[in-house]
Structure 1
Amino acid sequence: MITDTAKAIEATKQLVAAVPFLGGSSSESDYREAIELVDYLIENDDENPLIDFLASKIADYEDNSPRFAEFNKAIAEMPVGVALLRTLIDQYRLSYSDLKEEIGSKSLVSQILSGQRSLTIMHIKALSARFGVKPEWFL
């Protein structure tokens, strides 16, 4: 048991040396390297437990870093459906015109994202079908 504990401690030290972000580093470069590592692991070794460790550290960093304070405040004040739509647009690298079938014109998409208009039930159903997410996630 002592030997296993010593091995675990040594392995942890080596892991933190290789990935300083896991050890609590808050440098921008270590943060970016952690994101790149997660991206790599998801593409090449999606069962690797390191993904969960890093994702947790990254989320904590993004929730607490002053660098993200303004963004986090804006997201918190944004309706859930709009926040989800913005995330989907970013993740899928879409333009407003790419949502013509689900929402309509670019100006309508812009109005929804700016809070001037709301998503309708028809928009929500169409977006749910396109992205394979539950309709209630937009509510």
Structure 2
Amino acid sequence: MPTAKFVVADPKTGRCYQIEADNTPLVGKKIGEVFDGKILGLEGYKLQITGGTDSSGFPMRPDIHGSRKVRVLLSAPPGFKPKRKGERRRKTVRGNTIAPDIVQINVKVVEYGEKSIPELLGLEGGEAQE
């Protein structure tokens, strides 16, 4: 059972929560797709995939189709942050589809449930990873 770290961003509070869970139900989904938070134990929540990284640390890019690794010429993030205006560089990045070897998946809350996220995760006092 492949597990992944899910970084759940809460736009209302500006906090992020890290959850370790099975990523098998999300294999084949793409950046921008919305899924049910029940997969991560967040009953009543809807989450949107915003990105991720694979086991080698290569970031996912929304404009590259599929789940393969490719070397592309980049001029903007994700995957490359130019130091000078107009700078471009060839970098290795992942496609926009989740595969079993994706180890970190970034998501954001788009629809809230009845209970708060710290309550559902069992965090006392609403601790969060900053």
Settle same-fold status: TM greater than 0.5: no
TM-score under structure 2 length normalisation: 0.22
Higher strand share: 2
Give TM-score, length-normalised by structure 1.
0.21
Q: Could you say which structure has the higher helix fraction?
A: 1
Higher relative contact order (CA 8 A, sep 6+): 2
- Structure whose CA Rg is larger: 1
